[in-house]
Structure 1
Amino acid sequence: MTSLEKIHDVPVLMCAAEGAAIEGERDALDLIGDATYQGARWVVVPAQRFGDDFFHLRTRIAGHIVQKFAQYGMGLVVLGDISRHLKTSSALEDFVRESNGGRQLWFLQDKEQLADRLQG
């Protein structure tokens, strides 16, 4: 289930914590289609909706998903605690740090952080 919200006048598609796992490009395209239809510029997906393989960069799942969002000019936010994944991968730590410095993919703890990022 999804809902469209405006945060600082930015249309954001918020995905529910419950729902099918986001496991690959097809799932990403479904979200992008829904977001485009509703006029969103960002899609926010709770971290628990991503399978563990998303956080293991060697699988390239994260890269493929992010690439689809970039191709369609849609931002992606992974929202929630990913500390258990970060503890086991310095490559993931680097990926998160680099992503959070850009305008395509953010890994954020909560909706408050999202509001702060969209304000600026």
Structure 2
Amino acid sequence: MPDLVFDPDGPIIARDGDVNDFISAGWDAGADRLVIPVSRLAPEFFKLSTGLAGAVLQKCTNYNFRVAIVGDIAVHTDKSGPLRDFVYESNKRGDVRFVASMGEL
């Protein structure tokens, strides 16, 4: 099944309900993976204490979508050990991947 790659420009995911439009687009495209540029994520997504990343990614997996977050997140992981661990574990499992570029998919 194909990936649905979202444009870097457009509405951002700032709360968990915002991902619904991405999920709907994924269904319409017949995709099995949503490829979301970092630019489409609010900074709160990368602060694990907000719960935004967990809620968004859980919703995607509940609807049987794999997710790839594409872009440089070093500015966030450099500040947060728990985020680094989350990214590492997510990448290890594979349903959710954080990659620096499309070439890494």
TM-score, structure 1 normalization: 0.84
Partner of 2:96: 105
Structure 1 counterpart SS, 2:18: helix
Shift of 1:59: 0.2
Q: Number of residue pairs matched?
A: 105
5 Å matches for 1:40-79? 40-79=31-70
Shift of 1:22: 1.1
Structure whose alpha-carbon radius of gyration is higher: 1
5 Å matches for 1:1-120? 10-114=1-105
Separation in 2, partners of 1:86, 1:103:
19
Point out where structure 2 has 5 or more consecutive residues left out of the alignment: none
User: What letter corresponds to residue 20 of structure 2 in structure 1?
Assistant: L
More strand, by proportion: 1
Point out where structure 1 has 5 or more consecutive residues left out of the alignment: 1-9, 115-120
Where has structure 1 moved over 4 Å in runs of 4 or more?
A: none
Separation in 2, partners of 1:112, 1:30:
25
Q: Percent identity?
A: 33
